């Protein structure tokens, strides 16, 4: 397809061109009818949703693309493009670069920091139609897939070959593998299989000038120069559009077991983690923390029927331990021995331990942990912070935040109802959730920069998993040094000198 080149200057004669007021250093242009007419040469009409002709889509049909699932971020894009091939992505990006039109790559739009929603009226480039598996080798376990493949569908694809995806997260039914890579998604399997920086073997990326960077290798080892693909993992689409992913899928465990432990004191978690790591060793696949408030909320909203009132009496917090291994009887023996040694120890670290005895019980225990998110959403509006801090400070950070809000007079039925903590102990990742009656500037201002300062004081991360998006660009300096931010900006400038790729995300304008 021929891309007609027009000089950038020509744009200024068009009435719809505008100065983007939220980006003083950038001159980004709005999409015009002229652009949509060009996109119609690249894509079939059915793959274009635009308020402009020839598409003339009613604006409300764009709503789901213009806002995130929490309803927290809203963009005003007039145009959603759904390419089917990498070549089409390349042509769209090349055009937008020439015309200096901002692009927001969008996967499953399940993010939590506004990363996949336009800041103003950028073009939305949905990868949803790029959803084919390109290849899978059952011997090596290497899967190559389009970026728009839904995580769950890939899990289902490799399952008959006795493999699993190395990541798993709550949004698996809608999130895309490309989005997982772009946001460096962590999730529930990180403890066992490591981060995407290790499991992603190759990427195909369309650079901001339209160049297709083919690094879609299926090699486990390749030491031939800079590992460029790593830059795109976690760049949230600001350096290019991920269109294809090569990823190492591990062999499926033959058995999974879990146990929930009720602890009388948070301080027991550290010694408990040491013991569990030593005894379960390579079959340990999750070690999740749930504080009492989170637990009670989950139960209130229909989760957690696994434990009786007696079981939870006097528990300050809970730990969910999961094992995944190659032989059920070996794993069960290890887990039973662990539980026995914990219950018989002179210095008891746990009050109770409940071992799942069936697949239904296994799911029921997990529901306690995974159901927290749903329970929170039923309780009210959540301010969600996912932070990395030292394990020993988890409780202090949650309690400290509650006290801070109390001192501001913000605890109460009409303000903040709950301050809760849960998360991945093995990864040092605490999900701190503040549940309020509604989103208000008072609460927001009481929480930020307070929480970021607490994180910085522990040399932690203000975003362990969720990324920066548009939510935390102003707070980046709490986790990154000046030299690091300066270097990030240089890299952004090198890759995207016209500033079109997901503008306003990760780095401030």
186 is a contact residue toward its own copies (CB under 8 A): yes
One of 174, 215, 373, 393 touching its own copies (CB under 8 A): 215
- What does the alpha-carbon distance between residue 83 and residue 124 come to, in Å, rounded to a whole number? 11
For the chain, give the longest Cα–Cα distance.
81
Which range touches its own copies (CB under 8 A), out of 134-142, 151-159, 410-418, 496-504? 134-142
One of 246, 351, 388, 502 touching its own copies (CB under 8 A): 388
Least Cβ distance, residue 221 to its own copies (angstroms): 4
Least Cβ distance, residue 484 to its own copies (angstroms): 6
DSSP string, 410-436: -BSTTSEEEEEEEEEGGGTEEEEEEEE
What string marks each residue from 302 to 341 as x (binds its own copies by CB under 8 A) or -?
Answer: ----------------------xxxx--x--xx-------
Which range touches its own copies (CB under 8 A), out of 196-204, 287-295, 303-311, 443-451? 196-204
Q: Of 36, 67, 29, 69, which Cα lies nearest the Cα of 51?
A: 36
> In this complex, which beta carbon is closest to its own copies, that of residue 63 or of residue 214?
214
Q: Which residues contact 130 (CB under 8 A, 6 or more apart)?
A: 83, 84, 85, 86, 89, 146, 147, 148, 149, 178, 243
Q: Which residues contact 17 (CB under 8 A, 6 or more apart)?
A: 11, 29, 30, 32
> In this complex, which beta carbon is closest to its own copies, that of residue 30 or of residue 463?
463
Cβ contact 39:54 at 8 Å: no
Which range touches its own copies (CB under 8 A), out of 22-30, 72-80, 249-257, 408-416? 249-257
One of 21, 25, 221, 347 touching its own copies (CB under 8 A): 221
DSSP structural state of residue 29:
B
Cβ contact 240:190 at 8 Å: no
Cβ contact 123:103 at 8 Å: yes
Contact positions with its own copies (CB under 8 A) in 250-279: 251, 253-254, 270, 273-274, 277-279
223 is a contact residue toward its own copies (CB under 8 A): yes
Tally of CB atoms within 10 A around 10: 11
- What does the alpha-carbon distance between residue 33 and residue 237 come to, in Å, rounded to a whole number? 25
One of 426, 499, 503, 504 touching its own copies (CB under 8 A): 426
Number of residues that bind its own copies (CB under 8 A): 89
62 is a contact residue toward its own copies (CB under 8 A): no
160 is a contact residue toward its own copies (CB under 8 A): no
DSSP string, 312-363: HTT-SEEEEEEEEES-HHHHHHHHHHHHHHHHH-SS---SEEEE--SHHHHH
Beta-sheet strand order (sheet of 48-50): 48-50, 79-81, 123-126, 103-106
13 is a contact residue toward its own copies (CB under 8 A): no
> In this complex, which beta carbon is closest to its own copies, that of residue 97 or of residue 199?
199
> In this complex, which beta carbon is closest to its own copies, that of residue 176 or of residue 417?
176
One of 1, 2, 4, 139 touching its own copies (CB under 8 A): 139
One of 127, 147, 212, 354 touching its own copies (CB under 8 A): 212
Q: Which two tokens stand for residue 418?
A: 């709950």
> In this complex, which beta carbon is closest to its own copies, that of residue 391 or of residue 434?
391
- What does the alpha-carbon distance between residue 191 and residue 99 come to, in Å, rounded to a whole number? 44
Contact positions with its own copies (CB under 8 A) in 481-500: 481, 483-485, 487-488, 490-491, 494
Q: Which two tokens stand for residue 395?
A: 């409780």
280 is a contact residue toward its own copies (CB under 8 A): yes
Least Cβ distance, residue 194 to its own copies (angstroms): 4
Contact positions with its own copies (CB under 8 A) in 229-248: 230-231, 233-235, 239
């Amino acid at each position: 397809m021929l891309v007609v080149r027009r000089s950038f200057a020509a744009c200024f004669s068009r009435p719809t061109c505008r100065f983007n007021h939220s980006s003083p250093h950038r001159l980004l242009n709005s999409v015009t009818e002229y652009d949509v007419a060009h996109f119609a040469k690249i894509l079939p009409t059915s793959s274009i949703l635009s308020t402009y002709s020839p598409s003339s889509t009613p604006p409300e049909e764009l709503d789901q693309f213009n806002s995130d699932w929490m309803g927290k971020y809203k963009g005003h894009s007039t145009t959603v493009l759904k390419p089917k091939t990498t070549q089409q992505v390349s042509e769209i990006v090349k055009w937008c670069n020439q015309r200096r039109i901002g692009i927001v790559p969008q996967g499953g739009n399940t993010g939590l920091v506004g990363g996949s929603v336009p800041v103003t009226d950028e073009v939305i480039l949905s990868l949803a139609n790029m959803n084919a598996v390109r290849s899978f080798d059952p011997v090596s376990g290497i899967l190559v897939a389009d970026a728009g493949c839904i995580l769950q569908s890939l899990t289902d694809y490799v399952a008959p070959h006795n493999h699993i995806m190395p990541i798993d997260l709550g949004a698996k039914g809608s999130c895309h593998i490309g989005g997982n890579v772009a946001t460096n998604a962590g999730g529930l399997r990180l403890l066992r299989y490591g981060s995407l920086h290790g499991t992603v073997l190759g990427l195909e990326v369309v650079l901001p000038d339209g160049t297709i960077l083919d690094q879609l290798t299926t090699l486990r080892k390749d030491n031939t120069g800079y590992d460029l693909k790593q830059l795109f993992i976690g760049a949230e689409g600001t350096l290019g559009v991920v269109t294809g992913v090569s990823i190492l899928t591990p062999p499926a465990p033959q058995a999974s077991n879990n146990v929930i432990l009720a602890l009388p004191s948070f301080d027991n978690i550290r010694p408990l983690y040491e013991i569990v790591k030593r005894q379960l060793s390579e079959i340990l696949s999750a070690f999740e923390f749930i504080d009492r408030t989170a637990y009670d909320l989950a139960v209130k909203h229909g989760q957690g029927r696994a434990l009786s009132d007696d079981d939870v009496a006097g528990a300050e917090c809970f730990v969910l331990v999961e094992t995944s291994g190659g032989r059920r009887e070996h794993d069960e023996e290890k887990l039973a021995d662990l539980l026995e040694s914990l219950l018989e120890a002179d210095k008891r670290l746990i009050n109770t331990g409940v071992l799942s005895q069936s697949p239904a019980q296994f799911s029921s225990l997990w529901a306690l942990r995974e159901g927290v998110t749903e329970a929170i959403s039923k309780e009210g509006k959540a301010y969600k912070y996912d932070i990395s801090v030292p394990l020993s400070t988890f409780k202090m950070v949650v309690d400290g935040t509650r006290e801070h809000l109390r001192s501001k007079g913000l605890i109460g039925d009409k303000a903040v109802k709950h301050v809760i903590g849960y998360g991945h102990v093995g990864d040092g990742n605490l999900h701190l959730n503040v549940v309020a009656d509604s989103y208000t500037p008072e609460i927001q201002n009481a929480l930020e920069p307070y929480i970021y300062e607490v994180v910085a004081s522990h040399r932690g991360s203000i975003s362990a998993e969720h990324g920066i998006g548009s939510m935390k660009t102003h707070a980046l300096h709490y986790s990154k040094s000046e030299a690091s931010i300066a270097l990030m900006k240089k890299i952004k400038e090198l890759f995207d000198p016209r500033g079109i790729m997901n503008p306003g995300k990760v780095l401030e304008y």
